[in-house]
Chains A and B, each alone.
Chain A
Amino acid sequence: MKKKLSTGDVLIKVLTPIVAVGVALILGMILIALLGKDVGVAMGDFFEGALGNPIRIGDTLSKVAPLTFTALAFAIASRCGLVNIGAEGQFYLGGIAAGLVAIYAPGLGIPGIGGAVVLLLAIIAGFIAGGFWGLIAGWLKVSFGANEVITTVMLNYVATFLNKYLIGYNGPFYDGSGNPQSEAFKVSFERGFLVDGSDMTIAIILGLLALVFYYIFFFKMKKGYEMRVVGLNSTAAEYAGIKVKSNALLAMFLAGGFGGLAGVSELLSAQSRILPDFSSNYGFDGIAVALLGQLNPLGMGLSAVLFAVLKSGGLAMGNKGTISPYIVNAIQAFVIILVVASVFIQDEYTRRKLIRQAKATKGE
């Protein structure tokens, strides 16, 4: 994409997210102070927990993969003009499907099913399950016009209860241990990838590949072009002979699929069995990651790293009892609000520039 942009435009594009994050962090600190906590101590816990030593850095980076995937779940739908708030539910479905493959496939005794093949199957199962969950909302939207924001949120709750049921005391995948949980995975991603002793796995590479796919799909492939046309102007798409409904369905399937992969990467990297509430809000984090990255693949990659740090640091503060890890949600919301609101500032900037130019030409 070679595009002639003035330095002012570039500066605004790059500065916006940086300023947004900076302001959001300051607001977070003010909040901590208002609640009567020592900001210095909190910050210390935060950075110690997120980046204190190589292993912690590795643990932090292990969160990049699920965050990237949930960001893609939001971004892909968004490119097609849909608002997918359902990454949380898609995360559960993907995680459950992959988890079940990792638990039961190795025991089937089918020759040739080794660790790598099981993992591949788990990934595929996770993608399809998540995609199916996204497709439900897409279908409701396309066939009945049901607002996808509400249906995806409802499906999130259905998914969490479904998971609780499946591994609960009456559920088919309960391990009988007395706690609601499944059996342990027989196969999972190998930890210690790049950083020995950390939770990092090869999933981070999968996340990276997904970003590359996103870029190629939307900017190099005709199907992606088609989807963008639908997202930006569905009436023009119809006029051009593009099928709006099937694109919306495909977008929701792909979006859901990546939401599912988020579940796969989290479960088979950082956890050892399916537990209730195993997502810890990744689905909603993804919205902030995507918006901060302005739906741009590079931007989303960078903001996934940033949010991984925020998430780890927040959890560390929570574990130490300094402050609830939920403070990260508040900071995330500040980031989204600031980024979205900055569009207004950019518009005003362009408008004023135009008026200035007009005045200048008139003066000549």
Chain B
Amino acid sequence: MAPILEMKNIVKQFPGVLANDNVNLTVEKGSIHALMGENGAGKSTLMNILYGLYAPSSGQILFNGKEIHITSPKHAIEHGIGMVHQHFMLIPALSVIENVVLGKPENKKVLELKSDAEAFVALGARYNMKIDPYALVSDLAVGQQQRVEILKSIYRGAELLILDEPTAVLTPQEVTELFKIMNQLKEEGKTIIFISHKLKEVLTICDTITVLRLGKSQPSVPSAGTTKEELAEMMVGRKVFLNVDKGPYNPGENVLRMDHVFTKGTHGALNDVSFEIKKGEILGIAGVDGNGQDALIDAITGLCKVSEGKIFIKGNDMTNSSPRDILEQKVSHIPADRHKRGMVSAMTVKENMILISYYKKPFSSGGFLNWKFIEKNAEEIVETFRVKTPSIEEMSGKLSGGNQQKVVLGRELSRDPDFVIAAHPVRGLDIGATEYVHECLVAERDKGGAVLLVSTELDEVLTLADRIAVMYEGRIMGILDKEDFDITRIGMMMAGQNQ
């Protein structure tokens, strides 16, 4: 078959970053083609160029054998290219059908939502998808939103469909469903580019694989006959050691005890959550994003109210205590969203280093800040945690993502915590920074600290945790000891099934 798409020598230069460096990609018509790579390898950049969101610095795009210049998404859609972004491009406040017809050039001046809705429901039926066209998107579950996205693209005539990390938000069972749909689309002659960094999935569903590393493309390989190890090596450029050196598991006394905790709220509120974390152990929380992980962290750190139940930290009842009183219990919190919570981008590195402790001696006394000590302390943390910054006077927003995370990590771990809460601590980091963060967390555990690790990356949890608790819709589905770690079982629990 002829290639539907050829991207030749694509270069994209961002300020300070060369995101795509002479990338080549050829996709056959009617195939499922994987685009793999680590975070920051340039996958999304390449696809955003194809979808007309970025203009390439140089390079050529051939579509159905003809050279095209895609200057906007509108252009891409006209050519029959559709994209389902990792962060859905749906407007929560609008209904499904309003989202589907939004920006469609064929729209009449006065909308005819009713006929569109009928056609859309019929299209959904073809793929065994039942969707209420008049429901608000904000009322749909994540998996349903993804289906709306896929159907929307097809409804608007996509021949080539780009799926950007579509499985990140799905349970293993939902992934199977998705793969069914993908295969059906393939049979109908549509082409799919599947972006992922999950080895197993790619080998299961894709025909051909192209790996990007540090902005450069590796020669494509057929998925048949390729092994996980080979792919991993292509992605990282060296052998990967998925194991982290840990000391022996010697759990001590209780540090955190959750006792039948409930919180209020609609999405992902806690529902009768009970568990304990002991000294010298890492408890991993596995689960699909949005199943109560945020509420769990917020309840422990005092950022949201507990409506029922008790939370004990080191034996003290800290239920609904103020965030500060909880932090005072030598609790450190590495938040999920460092830009929103973990740091103040428009403040300097040294100012960010005192975010939690500024009010205490020796950082301040008598109402005044002690800048001399603050600077000395900041220099020390920068040194110890290998933060790459021109100086401690640099605005922290100007540092790279990895170094920003090191600022947060350094600040939190240098407070000598008894209990560390780490939420998605390596999200968006490159391999080197990821390894470093993991080493730090394990070191805390080996020193006798308790660590709560929340992550949606099952591999990360499996590698680091001593015990794993699985969350589903605000409930703890079960807690597994190391010897019971089993992906199928955890997958079932992530989807709300026990046993």
Q: A222-B358, A241-B356 are in contact. Are A229 and B15 (CB under 8 A)?
A: no
On whether the beta carbons of B341 and A228 are closer than 8 Å, the reply is: no
Contact with B356, one of A222, A233, A240, A354 (Cβ below 8 angstroms): A240
On whether the beta carbons of A4 and B391 are closer than 8 Å, the reply is: yes
Q: Does B13 have its Cβ within 8 Å of any Cβ on chain A?
A: yes
On whether the beta carbons of B323 and A241 are closer than 8 Å, the reply is: yes
On whether the beta carbons of B18 and A236 are closer than 8 Å, the reply is: no
On chain A, the residues within 8 Å of B333 by CB distance are 239
Bound Cα distance A326, B364 (Å): 48
Contact with B13, one of A232, A235, A236, A359 (Cβ below 8 angstroms): A359
On whether the beta carbons of B16 and A241 are closer than 8 Å, the reply is: no
On chain A, the residues within 8 Å of B14 by CB distance are 358
Q: A222-B369, A225-B358 are in contact. Are A232 and B323 (CB under 8 A)?
A: no
Q: Does B351 have its Cβ within 8 Å of any Cβ on chain A?
A: yes
Q: Does B48 have its Cβ within 8 Å of any Cβ on chain A?
A: no
On whether the beta carbons of B323 and A222 are closer than 8 Å, the reply is: no
CB distance from B350 to the nearest CB of A (A): 11
On whether the beta carbons of A223 and B344 are closer than 8 Å, the reply is: no
On chain B, the residues within 8 Å of A241 by CB distance are 302, 322-327, 356
On whether the beta carbons of B355 and A229 are closer than 8 Å, the reply is: yes
Q: Does A48 have its Cβ within 8 Å of any Cβ on chain B?
A: no
Could you say which of A3, A229, A240, A354 has the most chain B C-beta atoms within 10 Å of its C-beta? A240
On whether the beta carbons of A221 and B368 are closer than 8 Å, the reply is: yes
On chain B, the residues within 8 Å of A238 by CB distance are 303, 323, 341
Q: Does B359 have its Cβ within 8 Å of any Cβ on chain A?
A: yes
Bound Cα distance A232, B367 (Å): 21
- Which A-chain residue is minimally distant from B14 (CB atoms)? A358
Q: Does B109 have its Cβ within 8 Å of any Cβ on chain A?
A: no
On whether the beta carbons of A236 and B344 are closer than 8 Å, the reply is: yes
Q: Does A324 have its Cβ within 8 Å of any Cβ on chain B?
A: no
Bound Cα distance A357, B15 (Å): 8
On chain A, the residues within 8 Å of B342 by CB distance are 236, 239
CB distance from B266 to the nearest CB of A (A): 20
Contact with A362, one of B18, B326, B345 (Cβ below 8 angstroms): B18
On chain B, the residues within 8 Å of A235 by CB distance are 340-341
Q: Does B346 have its Cβ within 8 Å of any Cβ on chain A?
A: yes
Q: Does B459 have its Cβ within 8 Å of any Cβ on chain A?
A: no
Residues facing A in B312-361 (CB within 8 A) are: 322-327, 333, 335, 340-348, 351, 354-356, 358-359
Q: Does A37 have its Cβ within 8 Å of any Cβ on chain B?
A: no
Residue interface mask B294-324, A partner, CB < 8 A = 1? 0000000111000000000000000000111
- Interface size class on chain A is 20 to 34
On chain B, the residues within 8 Å of A358 by CB distance are 13-18
Q: A221-B369, A236-B342 are in contact. Are A355 and B323 (CB under 8 A)?
A: no
Q: Does B187 have its Cβ within 8 Å of any Cβ on chain A?
A: no
Q: Does A175 have its Cβ within 8 Å of any Cβ on chain B?
A: no
On chain A, the residues within 8 Å of B340 by CB distance are 233, 235-236
Residues facing B in A162-197 (CB within 8 A) are: none
On whether the beta carbons of A222 and B367 are closer than 8 Å, the reply is: yes
- Which B-chain residue is minimally distant from A216 (CB atoms)? B368
Q: Does A320 have its Cβ within 8 Å of any Cβ on chain B?
A: no
Bound Cα distance A2, B333 (Å): 30
Contact with A351, one of B15, B359, B371 (Cβ below 8 angstroms): B15
Bound Cα distance A291, B8 (Å): 50
Q: Does A220 have its Cβ within 8 Å of any Cβ on chain B?
A: yes
Grouping DSSP codes into helix (H, G, I), strand (E, B) and loop, the A interface class, with mixed when no group exceeds half, is helix
- Which A-chain residue is minimally distant from B326 (CB atoms)? A241
On whether the beta carbons of B323 and A239 are closer than 8 Å, the reply is: yes
- Interface size class on chain B is 35 or more
Bound Cα distance A236, B356 (Å): 10
Bound Cα distance A4, B359 (Å): 27
On chain B, the residues within 8 Å of A225 by CB distance are 351, 354, 358, 369
Q: Does B132 have its Cβ within 8 Å of any Cβ on chain A?
A: no
Residue interface mask B357-385, A partner, CB < 8 A = 1? 01100001001110100000000000000
Q: A241-B327, A358-B16 are in contact. Are A222 and B347 (CB under 8 A)?
A: no
On whether the beta carbons of A233 and B344 are closer than 8 Å, the reply is: yes
Q: Does B248 have its Cβ within 8 Å of any Cβ on chain A?
A: no
Contact with A236, one of B324, B326, B355 (Cβ below 8 angstroms): B355
Q: Does B253 have its Cβ within 8 Å of any Cβ on chain A?
A: no
On whether the beta carbons of A239 and B335 are closer than 8 Å, the reply is: yes
Residue interface mask B10-29, A partner, CB < 8 A = 1? 00011111100000000000
Contact with A355, one of B15, B322, B351, B354 (Cβ below 8 angstroms): B15
Q: Does B390 have its Cβ within 8 Å of any Cβ on chain A?
A: yes
Contact with A228, one of B326, B347, B356, B367 (Cβ below 8 angstroms): B347
Residues facing A in B58-115 (CB within 8 A) are: none
Bound Cα distance A351, B358 (Å): 33
Q: Does B233 have its Cβ within 8 Å of any Cβ on chain A?
A: no
Bound Cα distance A229, B345 (Å): 10
Q: Does B393 have its Cβ within 8 Å of any Cβ on chain A?
A: yes
On whether the beta carbons of A236 and B343 are closer than 8 Å, the reply is: yes
On whether the beta carbons of A232 and B16 are closer than 8 Å, the reply is: no
Q: A3-B393, A241-B327 are in contact. Are A226 and B358 (CB under 8 A)?
A: yes
On whether the beta carbons of A355 and B358 are closer than 8 Å, the reply is: no
Residues facing A in B136-159 (CB within 8 A) are: none
CB distance from B425 to the nearest CB of A (A): 15
Q: A222-B368, A354-B16, A357-B16 are in contact. Are A233 and B391 (CB under 8 A)?
A: no
Residues facing B in A334-364 (CB within 8 A) are: 351, 354-355, 357-359, 362
Bound Cα distance A351, B17 (Å): 12
On whether the beta carbons of A240 and B355 are closer than 8 Å, the reply is: yes
Bound Cα distance A23, B364 (Å): 44
Q: A4-B393, A221-B368, A239-B342 are in contact. Are A232 and B347 (CB under 8 A)?
A: yes
- Which B-chain residue is minimally distant from A223 (CB atoms)? B367
Residues facing B in A207-234 (CB within 8 A) are: 220-223, 225-226, 228-229, 232-233
On whether the beta carbons of B368 and A236 are closer than 8 Å, the reply is: no
On whether the beta carbons of B344 and A239 are closer than 8 Å, the reply is: no
Bound Cα distance A221, B367 (Å): 6
On chain A, the residues within 8 Å of B16 by CB distance are 354-355, 357-358
On chain B, the residues within 8 Å of A2 by CB distance are 393
CB distance from B47 to the nearest CB of A (A): 22
- Which B-chain residue is minimally distant from A356 (CB atoms)? B15
Residue interface mask B390-408, A partner, CB < 8 A = 1? 1101000000000000000
**What are 6 A-B pairs with beta-carbon distances under 8 A?**
A3-B393, A221-B369, A225-B358, A229-B347, A239-B335, A358-B17
Given contacts A4-B390, A241-B327, 17 further A-B contacts (CB under 8 A): A2-B393, A220-B369, A222-B358, A222-B359, A222-B369, A225-B351, A226-B359, A232-B345, A235-B340, A235-B341, A236-B344, A238-B303, A238-B323, A240-B356, A241-B302, A355-B15, A358-B15
Q: Report, nearest first, the 9 A-B pairs whose CB atoms are least far apart.
A: A241-B324, A354-B15, A241-B323, A239-B341, A222-B364, A233-B344, A240-B355, A232-B344, A232-B346
Residue ranges of B at the interface with A (Cβ–Cβ < 8 Å): 13-18, 301-303, 322-327, 333, 335, 340-348, 351, 354-356, 358-359, 364, 367-369, 371, 390-391, 393
Residue ranges of A at the interface with B (Cβ–Cβ < 8 Å): 2-4, 220-223, 225-226, 228-229, 232-233, 235-236, 238-242, 351, 354-355, 357-359, 362
